[in-house]
Structure 1
Amino acid sequence: MFAAASRAMSQVFEPQFRKIFLKMLGFTLAVLLVIWIALQGLVAGFVELPYPWLETVLSILTGIGAVIGLGFLIAPVSALFAGLFQDEIADIVETRDYPQDAPGKAMAVIPSIILALKFTGIVLLGNLFALFLLLIPGINLVAFFVVNGYLLGREFFEFAATRFMPVEDAKRLRRAKSGTVFMGGLVIAGVLAVPILNLVTPIFATIFMMHLFKRVQANAPI
């Protein structure tokens, strides 16, 4: 498990994957910048205060609040764009690390977009739920890892598996290996929990789960 995770993390920063990361990051920052400008414009256009200094203070506070809020959105927005590159990432892993195996089948464009949207929604909802639980002392950190470990493990493992088998077979395999998949999800959640490093989470998770699926498929020790 941890050997596969270490291998995946080292590959994230290799040139082929770094190019994908830079494209994903560019799209993500562009979207967040547009949202930030729109929020600033809304506040400036709809809130009128009697004193100029109050408007300045409100603008500063809005900017700070927006940065904090958009920081929360980095993971789901980057997940959306990373989802569009998942098959490209998987192809690279297969070609480089498993050239002797039959290649997986990439998803069609529309199902790929649907999967990306689904995954983004799951990450967003999972983090909202975890954020809510942060208010409850004693279970906040555990809740974050349990929620994200389950969701991330399930989605990324099923993505890897469906490249080689029908969706229903992939779901059955995931259920049969639920403990392994959940542990893999916890590893991904650990990366997601680290600021800055969480930007590479979708790429790391795709590479990692490709390695994990290959080991499960080969009945190799995890």
Structure 2
Amino acid sequence: MIIDAARAAFSRLFSAEFRSVFFKTLGLTLLVLVALWFGLKELFDWLALPWIDMLLPGFPDWAGWLGLIAAILAGIGLALGLALLVAPVTAVIAGLFLDDVAAVVEQSDYPADPPGRAMPVIPAIIMSLKFFSIVVLGNLVALLLLLVPGVNIGAFFVVNGYLLGREFFEFAAMRFRPEAEAKALRRRHAGTVFLAGLVIAAFLAVPLLNLLTPLFAAAMMVHLHKMVSAGDPEFPKPASASVRRAT
């Protein structure tokens, strides 16, 4: 089931519809990162450089050299920091387009099923920020666990597998079900969702390819939700959320 869902999602990643979403996501991500670069650089120049001049008032040459070294180190630090932020920033921006991805999968692979209901703009923004927080928190926890002997790289997969699997599955389910029902379905199939989350975490670990992680995860979980719903008598295959709420 998980392999089938992952294969179906990956086959869609390079379709014309997904490329459109990816280029929008990548463009906005680059704009945000460039803005962060210049913003943090200006903040450094405003805060750090005056202190260097104050500490060495009688040695302008030393102050100039020290300022240059500090600027170089700050530039390296900023570059490393922005590299670490690429995946989370992409996640929060891609979160705004997850419904587009889900709609493509539903229309292309499940044309006979009722369509899901897209989230309103404000909840979509909140969910995007939630994805961002999860990716950042998950990787910070994994980074701390890397210091624990015997845990190392496994921490990255366990933490991200759980968090990403949970959030993306509930996103796919909530296009058709109330939030409480979506969470109950996820808990009932917690093992399957976690294993699917490990696949997403593995995708996240691949440089450059990780920029596509939110799109891949959303598509995969749409397939997984369909498969799980079809085989669970306690949570029957739902009609679209818009149809159910109107009745």
Please give the alpha-carbon distance, in whole angstroms, between the structure 1 residues aligned to 2:24 and 2:16.
12
Task: Count how many residue pairs are aligned between Structure 1 and Structure 2.
Answer: 220
Q: Which residue of 1 aligns with 2:5?
A: 4
Q: 1:78 aligns with which of 56, 77, 90?
A: 90
* Secondary structure of 1:47 counterpart: helix
Please give the alpha-carbon distance, in whole angstroms, between the structure 1 residues aligned to 2:11 and 2:64.
52
Q: TM-score with structure 2 length normalisation?
A: 0.85
Q: Which residue of 2 aligns with 1:63?
A: 75
Point out where structure 1 has 5 or more consecutive residues left out of the alignment.
none
Deviations 1:105-134 (A, max 9, x none): 111222111111112111111111111112
Please give the alpha-carbon distance, in whole angstroms, between the structure 2 residues aligned to 1:12 and 1:53.
49
State the one-letter code of the partner of 1:35: L
Q: 1:161 aligns with which of 166, 173, 178?
A: 173
Q: Which residue of 2 aligns with 1:92?
A: 104
Q: Which residue of 2 aligns with 1:175?
A: 187
Say whether 1:117 aligns with 2:118: no
* Secondary structure of 2:116 counterpart: coil
Point out where structure 2 has 5 or more consecutive residues left out of the alignment.
53-61, 233-247
Q: Which residue of 2 aligns with 1:38?
A: 39
Map 1:144-155 to 2 at 5 A: 144-155=156-167
State the one-letter code of the partner of 1:9: F
Q: TM-score with structure 1 length normalisation?
A: 0.94
RMSD between aligned residues = 1.4
CA apart distance, 1:6: 2.1
Please give the alpha-carbon distance, in whole angstroms, between the structure 1 residues aligned to 2:45 and 2:135.
31
Please give the alpha-carbon distance, in whole angstroms, between the structure 2 residues aligned to 1:9 and 1:62.
38
Please give the alpha-carbon distance, in whole angstroms, between the structure 1 residues aligned to 2:130 and 2:217.
16
CA apart distance, 1:7: 2.2
CA apart distance, 1:143: 1.0
Please give the alpha-carbon distance, in whole angstroms, between the structure 2 residues aligned to 1:195 and 1:135.
22
Q: Which residue of 1 aligns with 2:245?
A: none
Please give the alpha-carbon distance, in whole angstroms, between the structure 2 residues aligned to 1:137 and 1:77.
30
State the one-letter code of the partner of 1:89: V
Q: Which residue of 1 aligns with 2:198?
A: 186
Please give the alpha-carbon distance, in whole angstroms, between the structure 2 residues aligned to 1:190 and 1:14.
22
Please give the alpha-carbon distance, in whole angstroms, between the structure 1 residues aligned to 2:42 and 2:126.
31
Deviations 1:119-168 (A, max 9, x none): 21111111111111122232121111111000000000000001111111
CA apart distance, 1:10: 2.3
CA apart distance, 1:5: 1.0
- Could you tell me the percent identity over the aligned residues? 56
CA apart distance, 1:12: 1.0
Deviations 1:50-96 (A, max 9, x none): 34333222222211111111111111111111111011111111110
